[in-house]
Structure 1
């Protein structure tokens, strides 16, 4: 089974994950600031790579019932992140992790940012999402030509 990557920032084991913490983490680790692309939802944020502009996280406020969550709050902050499809099924069994809201449920998961999840776990999952959406390294012509052409 694939392991969740270890994050690079020292985070206390008992620290809980909230929206502001995620944004600060991304600024510190990835030098990324959030985009706020929706006029009708000005607090919903997209975190994307600076080079290829791919999203690695979407932070939004939604009704908890949209992800099957129970909460006394009218709306909760959640974060969608890309996930290794081999890990999705086991991760959504954890408290505070759900099948992705409004995204491909095989490759994305939704994390509740309401204090249920430890910041260290959220950051490790965020690191995985960042890596999965990073620009792919293209092979040079020289690397491609080292394989014999007559192989079938």
Structure 2
């Protein structure tokens, strides 16, 4: 498949009005895009030999480096084909994404958006952060989540990093259910709460309001993996646009 390099350039130009900058004479095809206020990079496209990425072969491929703020999410992504530890960037919260079609363009755009938000100035973050769709895990071994909404449509839940009021959370219930069961709206965040045991640490709670229920056989783990490229749900993670649309 032809490289998605130009598609990436078109996306950041249209959505973020970013300029594509070529900064190095030694690497004329390396392209950077950054914020106009704090000048931080939020992406760099490079052409790299496959063997330098730890892959078989010596063909040159285009990769996109983006930054994440959630190391657990990064570790989950690294289990996916086409996503690698950040090439040529020593800090552990960067990833490299193959632009050869292994990773869908939709997911690439989602990761660009994440990188843009992570590297934005505090002032810009307040402006650019739209309501977001999340998948959050719930373990029935520790909480009777299947009956949590029997008598109320509003409950308190552990707040995940980055989740804000107005966001939508889809609750994935772990084994033996292994499926998304609920769609909820976050109505309040940063409720003080301290709890810790061998299995769980809670520093803050959020209030979530039930909007919709799903049948246990509708959005199973197998469906999430095969149709939406979700291989693990160990903590809060962004819901791909295609999945969020299906869950509406």
TM-score (norm 2): 0.47
1:69-148 matches, within 5 Å, as 69-71=55-57, 74-84=59-69, 85-137=71-123
Q: 1:40: how far off?
A: 1.4
Q: Which has the higher strand share?
A: 2
Q: Which runs of 5+ in 1 are unaligned?
A: 1-15, 139-152
Structure possessing the higher relative contact order (Cα contacts under 8 Å, 6 or more residues apart): 1
Q: Which runs of 5+ in 2 are unaligned?
A: 125-248
Tell me, what secondary structure is at the counterpart of 1:137?
helix
Alignment pair present for 1:47 and 2:47: no
In 2, Cα distance between the equivalents of 1:64 and 1:113?
12
Is the contact between residue 82 and residue 133 of structure 1 (CA under 8 Å) also seen in structure 2? yes
Is the contact between residue 62 and residue 100 of structure 2 (CA under 8 Å) also seen in structure 1? yes
Count of matched residue pairs: 122
Give the ranges of 4+ consecutive aligned residues of structure 1 lying more than 4 Å apart after TM superposition: none
Partner of 1:58: 44
Tell me, what secondary structure is at the counterpart of 1:110?
strand
TM-score (norm 1): 0.75
Kindly name which structure, 1 or 2, has the bigger radius of gyration based on alpha carbons: 2
In 2, Cα distance between the equivalents of 1:127 and 1:17?
20
Superposition CA RMSD, Å:
1.8
Is the contact between residue 3 and residue 62 of structure 2 (CA under 8 Å) also seen in structure 1? no
